[in-house]
Amino acid sequence: MNIVVAIKHVPSTADELEINDEGVNLDFDEVDFTINEFDEQAIEQAVLVKEASGGEVTVIGVDVIEELDGVLHTALAKGADKAAKIVGDLEPPIDSHTQARWLADAIGGLTPDLVLTGVQAVDDLDGQIGPMLAAYLDLPYVGVVTGLSVSDGTATVHKEYAGGVMAEFEVNLPAVVGVQAAEKPPRYAPISKIRQMAKSADLEEYEADENVGDSGCEIRKMAKPVSAGHAEMLEGDAEEVAEKIIEILEERGLL
Amino acid sequence: MLTSIERVLFILMALALGGLAGAGFYGIYRIVRSGRSAPPRQNVLSNLIRAAIDVLLQKPMFRSRPVLSTFHAFIFFGFSFYFLVNVTDVLEGFIPGFELVYGGQNSSISLPAGLVNLFNLTADILSVLTLLGMIVFLVRRFLAHDRRLKFNDGVLLNPKVAKGWIGYDSLIVGVFILLHVGSRFLGQALRLAEYGQSDPFMPFASLTANLFTGLSEGGFTAAIHTTWWLALGLILLFLPYFVRSKHIHLMIAPINIGLGKQTPRGELDPATPPAAHTNGDEPADDEDPGARVLQDLSWPRMLDAYACIMCNRCNDVCPAHSQGLVLSPAAVEVNKRYLINEDFTALAFKGDRIDKPLTDVISPEAVWACTTCYACVRVCPVGNEPMADIVDIRRRMIIEGDELDSGIQTALESLAKNGNWFGKGSRGRSRWTKGLEFKVKDVTKEEAEYLWFVGDTASFDARVTPITQTVARVLKRAGVDFGILGRLERNSGNDVRRVGEEGLFEQLAEDNAAALGKGQFQKIVTTDPHSLNALRNEYGPFVESQWPVLHYTNLLLDLFQSGKLNVTHPLSHYRVTYHDPCYLGRYNGEFSAPRQLLELMGVELTEMPRNCENSYCCGAGGGQIWLGSTPAGERPAENRIREALATLAPPSNGDGNVIEPDDGQLLFVVTCPKDVIMYTDAVKTTGNEGKIEVRDMIQLVEEAIGGAMPEPEPETQSGGEA
Ligand SMILES: Cc1cc2nc3c(=O)[nH]c(=O)nc-3n(C[C@H](O)[C@H](O)[C@H](O)COP(=O)(O)OP(=O)(O)OC[C@H]3O[C@@H](n4cnc5c(N)ncnc54)[C@H](O)[C@@H]3O)c2cc1C
Ligand code: SF4
Ligand code: SF4
């Protein structure tokens, strides 16, 4: 079993996000990057499959800001066997079409039996890298998956539909699967293991081909949500604010 | 006195049973040595002597349970003196005509009467006291069924312990002591009765002798021989049992105390044995951090198992056990001992390792219930450190990827990513300064006398940041030249290390050390006892120079004493009690500054029964504040609030706490950001809002000095972080 997990480095929402001066994207100098949370589910699911049915897990991502190593080392500490990154003279943002192209080129050469992606990434909420990968590699795709097991060249995957309806699919391998949740919560990677990986692991590198073209879409404007303008912010500590709320409610005859 | 046959028999028994016991002791030595290495002990001899003196004075015992400790002292002094008594008894048995009654005047060997009388008097009184002490202990265990000798439901116990073997062991030891001391005492009484005359230096024996008047000559001989054998033959019989019994504490405890931890309380032993660090910092490959099986533990932890007398004093003070959880520090030691006994010969003599899993010592659930409050270690009369076992077990669980509590995992992941457990970016760390009327220096850019290490809770928790701002204002008003590390500060790693995540602790310490290295300052001050502990005791390997680390209460006291702050509004309208945070008090011995501050400000302080060294943990430490779930039972902080109320407003006739209106406001004063959260919450959950209020020390200071700052001028409001 050759399992490949595609992961994406996305802006971290731990800090408040800033918009760049042109107002068309984030100010990437002012944001930290982190692994897309669904990709952590995909990595966990890959390691679970490996533990259950054997095989090898390779984690691969586009190194947009040249800080992907930490993420890859973490994946290795969690049980991945190999890690690779797509490098070049890159700068954020790089749209998902371009990333899907690069990933497909690299992953195609790895002759995977199973490709896992996160169901979608929090940066552009496009949800399309998985389907596009499948298209480029000419493989079947199942998305929004919450569990997966493998036997005899087929994968059995679970999906949860709205209203609590559950479905089970059988997919011929190789296939691409978009993971929403692994069967177990992602495991913890002890820092000393990550550091050990940082010292010893070799990360394979693929050159990004700058001539693959892009999505053809352009962001025209990006802004923080503007409040409708009618909100009155109540200032003060909890006690004062509570008092003001009661006042207002009484004023309007609601109490 | 003895017949030839008896003498030969005694010598043969002494050789055989003594030899067996000797082999047992050697086995114990081998088992203890089979543990991993520990930081080397310095000045071993002088420490052993100091320990012996402490034990002779019974000092470690009187840390708790004063009444029972007194009875223990009776047995201890009696038993110790009996070493001498046994020697003279053997001489009485083997040297014809040698005897000590009546000052030794009838003895075949001439003896100094004064000395012999003193000896007789001491032996007579101590015999009675020992018997009394032993009876008290047996009654307490077997008739009064002292609850403290029981374990909570669900505590993992070795099958034998669960079947009550500690009780059997105690019974055997108790009966042995009663027979041994009782027989010797009766033997002396019989001698007096045989002479038909009392001895003023053996008052109790003389009284007892009255029971035997009228016994025939043959009767006396038989009885004296029997009591001699019951006193001394029994010792020989008991020797091999001693090796298996908890009674061996009488020999191991002083050794364990003498060879105890020499590094500060707040510095954990390394996760990998020191010997494994052969070249540089990298541990040898075969030495994993922490412990999974018995012999992964360091030798002092093996010795602990032999020192433990199974008194459960540690359970009494353990916040987790008191809450009814499945953690029992005593069970850790007891189970280790029973686990060793199961395979004693193999562990001692076979040489090859037997992997006795530590999951037979403590359940994972219990491992994750420990707050690392150090109370069990502090109270243990024989110098045991059950907490150290727990941290070592956590360390291995973390490195080997055992399932983690979701809350702890989330906190660790955030700490690894962001350097704080609030899931916030590092830029937000100095956001609290935005509300100030002045700019706080960044010591990596500007020089300042004090570096204020703010810590996570004081920086990020909205319930605490107003207090943090007050600290800043008071310091500013007092003219203290201080700055912060701003976004470069990371969590100190104190609790991360106690959760067992050694690698993350190192990463955080290295990041902080790098930031501190960039800073220009002379001293470190912090409001957070956890940060204080790590910075003071555990940053040695990471920083180039060690700065003095002060708690803000020390600095505040200094400011009052040097006249930079003055009490203009004495706080006599408050009646307060003060809670010592574990990592400030028990760990770092800082008890007096907060109390002196309270006195200076004129508040009436009433101490809770559990104060200073014996303070009770709030339940937040050691990663407990991160737990994803709240275990059932009265939480330690709730228990503490009830204790505070009972102290400040004692209940009368079961009517609940009585608070007189003119008593003044009751306050629960804290000096730790986590305590602000824990106790404010506990006041609510115990339904005591309005009765008692939680205040940080700085809030009292602010009031006593008449406000920290003048009202901010509107135009100067632009301040904030650098
Ligand atoms: C977990 C997840 C959550 C997402 N959440 C959002 C979100 O909140 N907001 C958002 O904008 N995008 C969201 N997306 C992105 C969304 O998936 C993309 O817009 C994607 O392109 C939809 O394509 P699909 O092939 O899945 O189409 P489908 O989901 O099958 O259909 C999408 C739309 O295409 C049209 N369509 C499809 N079939 C036909 C047909 N036979 N005839 C006529 N019209 C048809 C319909 O308008 C239909 O609503 C999410 C994606 C994922 C994976
Ligand atoms: S560890 Fe110490 S306090 Fe606890 S039971 Fe053993 S001897 Fe008593
Ligand atoms: S350190 Fe505190 S919580 Fe942990 S076992 Fe000891 S007494 Fe209990």
Which pLDDT tens digit goes with each residue over B398-416? Answer: 999 999 999 999 999 999 9
Which residues is B36 bridged to in the sheet?
B298
Which residues is A149 bridged to in the sheet?
A156
Q: What contacts A54, CB < 8 A, 6 or more positions away?
A: A1
Three-state DSSP at A3 gives: strand
Alpha helix locations (H) across B234-345? Answer: 234-244, 249-258, 299-307, 313-317, 319-322, 329-342, 344-345
Query: How far is ligand 3, taken at its centre, from the CA of residue B564, in Å?
Result: 40
Q: What is the distance in angstroms between the Cα of A109 and the nearest Cα belonging to chain B?
A: 32
- Cis peptide leading into B609, omega within 30 of 0? no
Three-state DSSP at A178 gives: strand
- Residue of A27, A43, A187, A192 for testing the chain B interface, max B β-carbons within 10 Å: A192
Half-sphere exposure in the Cβ direction for A117 (13 Å, CA): 30
Q: Residue B681 phi/psi, 5° resolution?
A: -65, -45
Identity of the residue in B399, B406, B418 whose CB atom sits nearest the CB atom of A190: B399
**Chain B residues inside the 8 Å CB shell of A240:** none
- Cis peptide leading into A174, omega within 30 of 0? yes
- Asked if the C-beta of A161 comes within 8 angstroms of chain B's C-beta atoms, the answer is no
Query: Per-residue confidence at B275, pLDDT binned at 50, 70, 90?
Result: confident
Count the Cβ atoms, other than its own, within 10 Å of residue A101: 19
User: ipTM for the complex?
Assistant: 0.86
Percent of the residues in chain B that have a pLDDT greater than 90, as a whole number? 89
Q: How far apart are CA A102 and CA B27, in angstroms?
A: 66
Q: How far apart are CA B443 and CA B450, in angstroms?
A: 9
Q: Which of B672, B692, B673 is nearest to B682 (CA)?
A: B692
Residue pair A79/A27 in contact by the 8 Å Cβ criterion? no
Three-state DSSP at A32 gives: coil
Best probe residue, ligand 2, of B64, B141, B146, B380 (max atoms within 8 Å of C-beta): B380
A14/B401 Cβ within 8 A: no
Residue in chain B closest to A195 (alpha carbons) equals: B503
Element at A172 (helix H, strand E): strand A166-172
Three-state DSSP at B559 gives: helix
Q: What is the distance in angstroms between the Cα of B474 and the nearest Cα belonging to chain A?
A: 20
Q: What is the pLDDT of residue B324?
A: 95
B409/A188 Cβ within 8 A: yes
pTM of the model: 0.90
Six token digits for residue B84: 């001498």
Residue pair B580/B599 in contact by the 8 Å Cβ criterion? no
- Cis peptide leading into A131, omega within 30 of 0? no
Six token digits for residue B173: 């030891």
Q: What is the pLDDT of residue B7?
A: 95
**Chain B residues inside the 8 Å CB shell of A193:** 399, 503
Tell me which residue has tokens 């055992």.
Answer: B402
Phi/psi region, residue B295 (left: phi>0; alpha: psi -120 to 50; beta: rest), is alpha
Q: What is the pLDDT of residue B653?
A: 64
Nearest ligand to residue B161 Cα: 2
Tell me which residue has tokens 């490959």.
Answer: B285
Average pLDDT on B472-482 reads 96
Q: Over 90: is that where the pLDDT of B53 sits?
A: yes
Which residues is B717 bridged to in the sheet?
none
- Asked if the C-beta of A200 comes within 8 angstroms of chain B's C-beta atoms, the answer is no
Q: What is the pLDDT of residue B310?
A: 96
Query: Per-residue confidence at B712, pLDDT binned at 50, 70, 90?
Result: very low
Q: Which of B502, B585, B586 is nearest to B541 (CA)?
A: B502
Any ligand 2 atom below 6 A from CB of B64: no
Q: Residue B451 phi/psi, 5° resolution?
A: -95, 125
Q: What is the pLDDT of residue B660?
A: 64
Q: Which amino acid is at B149?
A: L
Per the prediction, chain A carries an average pLDDT of 93
Any ligand 2 atom below 6 A from CB of B61: no
Q: What is the distance in angstroms between the Cα of A124 and the nearest Cα belonging to chain B?
A: 21
Six token digits for residue B210: 């009255």
Residue pair B473/B705 in contact by the 8 Å Cβ criterion? no
Query: Per-residue confidence at B277, pLDDT binned at 50, 70, 90?
Result: low
Q: How far apart are CA A111 and CA A2, in angstroms?
A: 7
Q: What is the distance in angstroms between the Cα of B398 and the nearest Cα belonging to chain A?
A: 6
A16/B503 Cβ within 8 A: no
Residue pair A177/A142 in contact by the 8 Å Cβ criterion? yes
A249 burial level (CB within 10 Å; 0-12, 13-18, 19+): exposed
Query: Per-residue confidence at B283, pLDDT binned at 50, 70, 90?
Result: low
Nearest ligand to residue B310 Cα: 2
Q: How far apart are CA B722 and CA B717, in angstroms?
A: 14
Any ligand 2 atom below 6 A from CB of B384: yes
Q: What is the pLDDT of residue B609?
A: 96
What angle do helix axes B66-94 and B4-33 make, rounded to 10 degrees?
Answer: 140
Residues of chain A scoring pLDDT < 70: 229
Residue pair B320/B327 in contact by the 8 Å Cβ criterion? yes
Q: What is the pLDDT of residues A142-162, one digit of tens each?
A: 999 999 999 989 999 999 888
Average pLDDT on B135-141 reads 97
Nearest ligand to residue B387 Cα: 3
Identity of the residue in B413, B423, B503 whose CB atom sits nearest the CB atom of A195: B503
DSSP string covering B646-667, please? HHHS-BSTTS-B---GGG-EEE
DSSP type of residue B546:
P
Half-sphere exposure in the Cβ direction for B95 (13 Å, CA): 13
Q: Which domains, and CATH codes, for chain A? A: 2-207 (3.40.50.620)
Any ligand 3 atom below 6 A from CB of B375: yes
- Asked if the C-beta of A16 comes within 8 angstroms of chain B's C-beta atoms, the answer is yes
Three-state DSSP at A143 gives: strand
Q: How far apart are CA B6 and CA B18, in angstroms?
A: 17
DSSP type of residue B667:
E
Q: How far apart are CA B653 and CA B663, in angstroms?
A: 19
Q: What is the pLDDT of residues B58-94, one digit of tens each?
A: 999 999 999 999 999 999 999 999 999 999 999 999 9
DSSP string covering B134-194, please? HHHHHIIIIIS--GGGS--TT----HHHHTTHHHHHHHHHHHHHHHHHHHHHHHHHHHHHH
B401/A191 Cβ within 8 A: no
DSSP type of residue A205:
E
Do the strands A154-160 and A141-151 form a parallel or antiparallel pair, or are they unpaired? antiparallel
Identity of the residue in A15, A191, A194 whose CB atom sits nearest the CB atom of B425: A15
Q: Over 60: is that where the pLDDT of B721 sits?
A: no
Q: Which of A133, A117, A125 is nearest to A177 (CA)?
A: A117
A187/B399 Cβ within 8 A: no
Q: Would you say the C-alpha torsion B155, B161, B164, B167 has a positive or negative sign? A: negative
Q: Over 80: is that where the pLDDT of B662 sits?
A: no
Q: What is the pLDDT of residue B285?
A: 56
Q: How far apart are CA B298 and CA B281, in angstroms?
A: 19
Nearest ligand to residue A118 Cα: 1
Three-state DSSP at A77 gives: helix
Q: What contacts A121, CB < 8 A, 6 or more positions away?
A: A8, A10, A36, A38, A39, A96, A129
Atom of ligand 1 nearest to the CA of A126: 15
Query: How far is ligand 1, taken at its centre, from the CA of residue B297, in Å?
Result: 57
Three-state DSSP at A49 gives: helix
Query: How far is ligand 3, taken at its centre, from the CA of residue B328, in Å?
Result: 8
Query: How far is ligand 3, taken at its centre, from the CA of residue B377, in Å?
Result: 8
Q: How far apart are CA B176 and CA B254, in angstroms?
A: 22
Strands across the sheet containing B450-452: B441-442, B482-484, B450-452, B523-526, B549-551
Query: Per-residue confidence at B718, pLDDT binned at 50, 70, 90?
Result: very low
- Asked if the C-beta of B510 comes within 8 angstroms of chain A's C-beta atoms, the answer is no
Q: Residue B525 phi/psi, 5° resolution?
A: -130, 145
Do the strands B549-551 and B665-670 form a parallel or antiparallel pair, or are they unpaired? unpaired
Three-state DSSP at A89 gives: coil
Average pLDDT on B471-482 reads 96
Per the prediction, chain B carries an average pLDDT of 93
Terminal-to-terminal C-alpha distance of chain A: 66
Percent of the residues in chain B that have a pLDDT greater than 70, as a whole number? 95
Q: What contacts B112, CB < 8 A, 6 or more positions away?
A: B104
Three-state DSSP at B476 gives: helix
Element at B73 (helix H, strand E): helix B66-94
B715 burial level (CB within 10 Å; 0-12, 13-18, 19+): exposed
Q: Which amino acid is at B339?
A: L
Q: What is the pLDDT of residue A39?
A: 97
Six token digits for residue B236: 């020989």
How far from the centroid of its chain's Cα atoms is residue A194's Cα?
A: 20
Q: Over 60: is that where the pLDDT of B35 sits?
A: yes
Any ligand 2 atom below 6 A from CB of B311: yes
Q: What is the distance in angstroms between the Cα of B366 and the nearest Cα belonging to chain A?
A: 20
Using only C-alpha atoms, chain B has a radius of gyration, in whole angstroms, of: 31
Query: How far is ligand 1, taken at its centre, from the CA of residue A127, in Å?
Result: 9
Query: Per-residue confidence at B717, pLDDT binned at 50, 70, 90?
Result: very low
- Asked if the C-beta of A37 comes within 8 angstroms of chain B's C-beta atoms, the answer is no
- Residue of B281, B396, B413 for testing the chain A interface, max A β-carbons within 10 Å: B413
